[in-house]
Structure formats: structure tokens, C-alpha cells
Amino acid sequence: MIEDLTIVIQGRCEEEQLKLWIDNYSEWNVVLSTWIDFNFDLDFPKKWKIIKSQYPIRFVDMQNIDLQIVSTLNGLKKVNTQYAIKVRGDEFFSNLELVYHKMKEVYPKVLVSSIFFRPLGLYLYHISDHFICSTTENLKLMFEKTYDLLNNHTKFNNSPESHLGFSFIAGKENWDLYSIHKYESINDNMMRKWYSIFEVNELKPYIITENNSGNRIYYRDNYGYGFHDINEI
């Protein structure tokens, strides 16, 4: 385990992936932040913290980003370490120590996964949210600012990842959170300044999921290069 890192597993959970988290990270600092109807009968490690929240009143219709924000923030409230990595309850990654060490190398940049990281210029401030690793304070800043943005009904496109990516930078740069148009021309420079990409294929075995037109797709150690260019940042 890594003493100053906490894994925050958030959101909707699947039993197969949770069993893998338990088998591989039982001695790590872990916060599982899920929902009140979570009912898997699993033997969770005693040192893990389990949070089961009520579903929030939905405040934005955009690929469940509001649920991601709420479950992540609820989990981060229980983190007592300097660093944290946010992952999903329907996914699994091995070898997260590699992510931790890379995050320390690129800090103060936030380290995000390569899967579905969009090429610079395709969508404004679009990161990947399949895992996000930095200081706990940076993750809180990202999700708190995104909550503020979307809870005030300021939506500038239909990509949750764009709102996460922009809101963190806005917080760090003291920008006007509600005026992204002011910062369109410096998208590429700011993305290079504040984010770095970690190649998910270094974390095998893994399970990554996506919802495509109502169908759940699973990548099991076989995610290929799609929309991102790992060398861009």
C-alpha cells in the first residue's frame, strides 16, 4: 500500500470489479462512495470506509455527471491522505502505484487516464475522467467548482469531461467560472499546463466500461487508441 494515497471508488458498482478491488487493494486506504440501494454481500476489508448516500436531486441532464460529482465529493470528505485517485465502481485497474509515482513526477499537473482523452482542440478542456489522480485538495477543487458551475445551470457543451477539465483550471487560474468563452483561445496551453495523461494499458489487468447508445461495452485489457494522442500533452 501507499500510506499517503487514498483510492476513492465512486458511483454505480458492479460485483466483479469490486471483488477485484478487494482482492488486490485490501491493505490500501480506500473509500467506497456509492448509493443507498447498493446491496452486494461482499466481505469488505475492515480498514475501508463505505459510504452509501441518498441520490441527489438531479441538477443537470448530461451523462450522469451530477451523480459522479456528488458521489466523488462525498467520498473525498472521508479522505485523510495528501493524495487521492478517483476511480469508478464499475471499473478496475491494477498497478495503481505506477499512477501514483507518475503523478508525483508531473505534479502540480493532474494525472488523468488516456481512455477517451480527446485531442486538443476537438472539445474545449476535455480530459478523461476514468481515473483522476492528484492531491486531495486538487480533486476537491475540481469537483466543487464543477458542482458550482452546473448547479447554476451553466452548461457550455454536452461533455461532462469538458466541464471537469475547465472548472479545475478556472479554480487554479482564478478565472470567471461562468464565462468559458473568454478562455477558448488558450485551451491548448492551459491543458498542457495543468494535465498529464497516463496510458491505461500499463495497468493490466483492467476492466474499463462505457455506455454506448444504451449498451454497456467492456474493455478487458484491450483498449486501443481511439480519440486521444498520448504525445499531445
Report the half-sphere exposure of 225 (CA within 13 A, side-chain side): 8
Please name every residue paired with 84 in a beta bridge, in sequence order, or none if there are none.
6, 134
- What is the pLDDT at residue 226? 55
Specify the range with the lowest mean pLDDT, choosing from 94-108, 111-125, 169-183. 111-125
Cα–Cα distances in angstroms (integers) from residue 104 to residues 55, 82, 101, 109, in the given order = 34, 11, 5, 9
Average pLDDT, the chain: 93
The one-character DSSP state at 181 is G
pLDDT digits (tens, 9 = 90+) for 134-177: 999 999 999 999 999 999 988 999 999 999 999 999 999 999 99
Instruction: Tell me the three cell numbers of residue 155.
Output: 452548461
- What is the pLDDT at residue 80? 97
* Average pLDDT, integer, range 29-47: 95
Going by pLDDT thresholds of 50, 70 and 90, the confidence category of residue 94 is very high
Question: Rounded to two decimals, what is the model's pTM?
Answer: 0.95
- What is the pLDDT at residue 118? 83
Residues 6 or more apart in contact with residue 10 via CB below 8 angstroms: 33, 34, 68, 71, 72, 75, 86, 87, 88, 89
Amino acid making up residue 73:
L
Residues 6 or more apart in contact with residue 74 via CB below 8 angstroms: 33, 51, 53
Which of these, 144, 145, 153, lies nearest to 62 by C-alpha position?
Answer: 153
- What is the pLDDT at residue 232? 47
pLDDT digits (tens, 9 = 90+) for 60-76: 988 899 999 999 999 99
Residue 48: burial class (beta carbons within 10 Å; 0-12, 13-18, 19+): middle
Amino acid making up residue 17:
Q
Domains of the chain: 5-220 (3.90.550)
Please name every residue paired with 195 in a beta bridge, in sequence order, or none if there are none.
110
- What is the pLDDT at residue 148? 97
